[in-house]
Amino acid sequence: MRRFVLDRAVDVSGVSGTGLVAEGVLFSAGTAVVQWLGDRPSTVVWPSLEMAESIHGHGGATTIRWVDPE
């Protein structure tokens, strides 16, 4: 397992804000779990981190920052 955070520079949707907006874990089989922070917390399971990034990355407005080394 490897932990990461989502760091958002620009809030494109106007919902989650900027800065640290989510925490996550990437499992060895490739599944990613993202837990959103803030006023509307939720937990989402994705088949891959790439899928999550394709939806929530907003073209580079949100960066995946690794907590644990590779």
29-52 as b/e, with b when 16 or more CB fall inside 10 Å? eeebbbebbeeeeeeeebeebeeb
Letter for the amino acid at 23? E
12 CB neighbour count, 10 Å cutoff: 14
Residue pLDDT, tens place only, 9-56: 766 666 666 679 999 999 999 999 999 998 889 999 999 999 888 876
Indicate yes or no: pTM above 0.95: no
Q: What Å distances lie between residue 9 and 2, 20, 31, CA to CA? A: 23, 9, 25
Domain range list for the chain: 2-66
